[in-house]
Amino acid sequence: MAISQDNLQSIREEYEDHPLELSQLRSNPVEQFEYWFSQALEAEAMEPNAMVLATSKIDTPKARYVLFKGIEDGGLIFHTHYESAKAKEIKTNNAVAAVIYWREIHRQVRIEGQVEKASKEISDNYFYTRPRGGQLSAIASPQSQIIESRKVIEEKIKDLDKEYGESKINRPDNWGGYLIKPTAWEFWQGRKNRTHDRFRYENADSKWTISRLAP
C-alpha cells in the first residue's frame, strides 16, 4: 500500500491523561529516570532499554537504536564496536543526543551530552554477560563496513567457535562501552489533545535547574 497523507492523517492515538507536575519530579534527573524506568518495567514495556542514539561529525547527523546497559557516574552506558560508524563520529565530535520512548505509558526521555569511552572494567563486565554467540559476533563483525554477504560473518563465527573451543573468549580491544554524560534531560508525558507535559533539566555550575516547556 502506498503511503499517502490521508493514510497518515488517519493514524491517531489519544493518550491517557496522566498529569506530570513539577512537584512530582525528583531534583536529580538520574533519580527521575530510574523511577520512570522502573515504571516502564512494571508496565512490561517492550525493550525498555532501547535508545535512539544520534551522532554527527559536523553536518551529517545519523541516528540508530542501541541498548543502554546501565547507569554509571550519572550517565548512560552503551556498548559497540570502537571502529563502527558511530564510534568514528564520536571520535570527531563527542556531542550526542539520545531518546528513549515507552509507548505503553506514553513517556519519552531525551538526553543531550558528551560521550566518552567507558572503563575497561565496565566493558569487560558486560562482555562476559553476553551469550557466547554474542561474544563471537563482536569479534567477527567489522561493524559498519561493506561485506559481500551475510555468509562472510557466519563463516567467521564458525571458524572462531572452533578456534576457541571451550576456552574463555576475551573481549577484543576494539569493542567496548561508552558513557554518555548528560548536560540536559527532558521528561515528556503524553497528554490528551496533544497538551503534553514537558520538563527540562539543565546543568549549570554542577546544579540541576528544572523548567517546564510548552507541549
The DSSP code sequence of 89-153 is HHHH--EEEEEEEEGGGTEEEEEEEEEEEPPHHHHHHHHTTS-HHHHHHHHH--TTS--S-HHHH
Active site residues: 194
Q: Which of 189, 185, 199, 11 is nearest to 112 (CA)?
A: 185
Work out the burial of residue 129: count CB atoms within 10 Å of its CB; fewer than 13 is exposed, 13-18 middle, 19 or more buried: exposed
Phi-psi region of 44 (alpha: psi -120 to 50; beta: other; left: phi over 0): left
